[in-house]
Amino acid sequence: MTLTSRDGGVTIEGTLLGYDGEFYRVETVYGALTVDGSGVNCEGPGCPDLTAYVAEFNISGARTMGAVLLPALVESFAARSGYRVERKITDDSHFRYELYDQRSGALSADIRFRVTSTAEGFADLVAQEADIVLSVREPLASEVDRARAAGVADLTDARRRRIVGLDALVPLVSPSSPLERITLEQLASAFAGEIDNWAALGGPDAPIRLHLRDAASGLAQGFVSRVMVPADLTLAASIQRHASNEDLADAVARDPLALGVANYSEIGNGKVLAVSGGCGILNVASAATLRSEDYPLTTPLFLYTPAKRLPLLAREFIGYIRSPAAQPVIARAGFVNLFLERIPLDAQGERLANAIARVDGDGIRLSDVQRLVRTMRGSARLSVTFRFQGGSSTLDAQSESNVELLAQMLESGRYNGTRITFVGFSDSDGAARANLGLSRKRAEVVRDAVLAAAPTADRARLDLRVDAFGEVMPMACDTVEWGRQVNRRVEVWIDQR
């Protein structure tokens, strides 16, 4: 094939390696080149039929996401983009969507789904049989190594992942259970078989019957990595395993002696237990606590992509799922979406109570809390929160996604002329003055990261500030490591005046 620029000044000859609906990929004497199709004319037997081009891509991974959420997003994307949709089912795990142009009737896209598990999705990516992986957890070290060895992608690169929505791991019991709370340490001990009677948890003198998803599921793998491994415990052999989230939730709801770990999005008729750290502060799973990552077992829903250029329509679809138009679709599918919610002061009573309870403890003075209240008055907390990976200044995956989300809002002009304050908090480990300084530095890091991610924002119309309160307002108990991790955070407050 020969590609010639519109003015005839540049000619490239070579063999067509691929065409994604927008760019040619051509093997030439200079190596592989990527050429924008809108700027050239193509001649030769290798030229694709542009009018008959069909975007083809494969989506593989977690059934939790692939059963309802992604199909709903494909259908809503197609409706908004002018496509007619046909769904064709092969079997329980395989189906496809064909998108047809509503005006011409021509086939525009063939989107093939394989919904099994997160682990299978990453395996398909390594085998170059998946273009988009649906994952309810971050990749395991072994999966990262295999993807690198295959030359597919560096799965630790933030550019390879996007967060679609949010879910959470939740302790689940029957509605008839008298229990209302459990610590993560108790949960780990129960699933290790060390606590085998409800009396040890404040319940009846009866055996605990454990329920969990199958070992290959992202839910079970996430529970092991986030609860069992930190406790240095392994799962008991007596756990009843389930092939689906629905089966698990139904089994727990029917059994007054059952204890399960389920997804927040699929609790059925079960009752969710609050997570406690032992100091009296409860962490309850809700849309607000998942968006702010205040609930310790929040699980982002990821899309992972290889380090190659996907078809234009696939890229447009990935962009759509982060748009405001997609957020109601995500909520209707049963998950927590990425809407930036404003939480007014009068809805933050529990947080203020935690702050007041710290007065005269760990060096916290009444004047510190009074300054906190004066600063909060007239402001609302955004549901977006930033946290760091343990022992580092690197933002965690959800926080990196939040940087992008807030940067997009700044570039859109949504907060022009509005005072935005990045507010740092810390745990109580160490001296109060040192923690205050550390929390301010973290707030500055987040502010700078958001600004760097928003190059087109109108700086003259932005009012971005930094404040810090150290350990004044804990969200969880500092007596446990996960509680300290929750407390080390940067919040965003928006002026309401």
Report for 46-50, 324-328, 469-473: range of highest mean pLDDT: 324-328
pLDDT of residue 362: 63
Q: How high is the pLDDT of residue 134?
A: 97
Residue 432 has pLDDT above 90, yes or no: no
Band of the pLDDT at 358, cuts 50, 70, 90?
confident
Q: Label residue 355 by pLDDT band (50, 70, 90).
A: confident
Percent of the chain beyond pLDDT 90? 73
What integer is the mean pLDDT of 207-219? 95
What tens digit of pLDDT does each residue of 372-423 get?
889 888 899 999 999 988 666 788 889 999 999 999 999 999 999 999 999 9
Residues 83-96 have pLDDT tens digits of: 999 999 999 999 99
pLDDT of residue 497: 64
Residues 199-211 have a mean pLDDT of: 96
d(CA 284, CA 168): 11
Average model confidence (pLDDT) across the chain: 92
Interval 115-166: pLDDT, tens: 999 999 999 999 999 999 999 999 999 999 999 999 999 999 989 999 999 9
Architecture of domain 55-165+301-332: 3-Layer(aba) Sandwich (3.40)
Q: List the single range of 68-82, 290-304, 385-399 with lowest mean pLDDT.
A: 385-399
Where do the domains of the chain lie?
2-49, 55-165+301-332, 167-291, 340-495
The per-residue pLDDT for 25 is 87
Of 1.10.10.10, 3.40.50.300, 3.30.1330.60, 3.40.190.10, which CATH number belongs to 340-495? Answer: 3.30.1330.60
Residue 278 scores a pLDDT above 90: no
Average pLDDT rounded to a whole number, residues 30-51: 86
- Tell me the mean pLDDT in the region 240-259: 97
Is there a shared CATH topology between the 55-165+301-332 domain and the 167-291 domain? yes
Q: Give mean pLDDT, residues 198-203.
A: 95
pTM of the model: 0.86
Report the pLDDT averaged over residues 178-187: 95
Q: Could you report the per-residue pLDDT of 436-489, keeping only the tens digit for each?
A: 999 999 999 999 999 999 999 999 999 999 999 999 988 888 888 889 889 999
Separation between Cα atoms, residue 261 and residue 252, nearest integer Å: 9
Class of domain 167-291: alpha beta
Percent of the chain with pLDDT over 70: 98
